[in-house]
Chains A and B, each alone.
Chain A
Amino acid sequence: MTTTGELVASVHIDAPPDTVYPYFTDADLMVRWLGTTATLDPTPGGVFAVDVDDTAARGTYLSLNPPRSVVFTWGMPGSDTLPPGGTTVEVTLTPADGGTLVTLVHRGLPAEHRRSHQEGWRTFLGNLTTAAARSRPAS
């Protein structure tokens, strides 16, 4: 875990980048692994909308470089800590061991907003649980 509002995850897939890439841009393939419905317009500025269970993830594609990288924004309507378009997900596909290394970085708000993002609920959760762990409730 980091305290910078950045999450990194990666996985190796036994298929080439050409094969993996459309799973980030084609709605039918997207819902094979993320969400239940998706509306995707894979052009810069195009819609990125995925319903994950009963939570709506909303954003736009920022850049597409098939089959090597795709960047989109990510947020939830009605959330002031994760507003639509409020965070950025960058996916990089690197050929590795005959397959593809998928690296995903989910970043917080842009640099000028980073200070306020520190108040985001991820940090908030960490602060609360740390503080709570220190203080034993009076029996």
Chain B
Amino acid sequence: MPEPAHKAASAAAPQAPSADAVFKALADPHRRQILRLVQLRALPAGQIAAQFEMTQQGVSLHLTVLKKAGLLTERRDGTRRLYQLRPEALRPARAVLDEFWPGALARLKQAVEIDHHPTGDDPRP
């Protein structure tokens, strides 16, 4: 549930993926399970794939979605790539959730009070 006001801000920085990308990445049980596996330690893709009844290619696709959402860091260790949770990427999603209804109700208050003060009296904030 994104904040409409942030629509324009999401394009540039891969460091700051939109809350929406995070929500979409989290809306899959396999991807959530992957994040649990790598929340405390970095693992290679093969070791992650071994936990699932899924092709390595399937796991690789999930890893790509998680990386694009900023939820995973990837680093090289010899020939292997290691993946680990990037917890700070979860913050915007949690903030949106916590702020969604308070934000919406604030807009409701503003809308009602503007609509019903046709004389132009300034509505109380």
The stretch from A38-46, A47-55, A64-72, A107-115 touching chain B is A47-55
Which residues on A sit within 8 Å (CB–CB) of B7?
A: 53
Contact A129 B26 (CB under 8 A): no
Chain B contact residue count (CB 8 A cutoff): 41
What is the minimal beta-carbon distance from B106 to any residue of chain A, in angstroms?
A: 6
- Alpha-carbon distance A54/B3, docked complex (angstroms): 10
Q: Is B35 an interface residue (CB 8 A)?
A: yes
How many A residues touch the partner, as a band?
35 or more
Q: Is B78 an interface residue (CB 8 A)?
A: no
Contact B112 A23 (CB under 8 A): yes
Which residues on A sit within 8 Å (CB–CB) of B52?
A: none
Closest A residue to B117 by CB, please name it.
A14
Q: Is A62 an interface residue (CB 8 A)?
A: no
The stretch from B43-51, B62-70, B96-104 touching chain A is B96-104
Contact B104 A34 (CB under 8 A): yes
Proximity string of chain A (58-101) to chain B, C-beta cutoff 8 Å, 1 when within and 0 when not: 00000000000000000010111110000000000000000000
Contact B116 A129 (CB under 8 A): no
Contact A131 B40 (CB under 8 A): yes
Contact A132 B85 (CB under 8 A): yes
The 3 closest A-B pairs by CB, nearest first: A132-B87, A9-B101, A32-B111
Extra inter-chain contacts (9) besides given A33-B110, A53-B20, A81-B26, CB under 8 Å: A9-B105, A11-B105, A11-B106, A19-B112, A20-B112, A53-B2, A53-B3, A55-B1, A129-B90
18 contacts across the A-B interface (CB closer than 8 A) = A9-B102, A9-B104, A11-B108, A13-B108, A14-B109, A19-B112, A19-B116, A20-B108, A23-B108, A53-B2, A53-B3, A55-B20, A57-B1, A124-B32, A125-B26, A129-B91, A132-B87, A137-B84
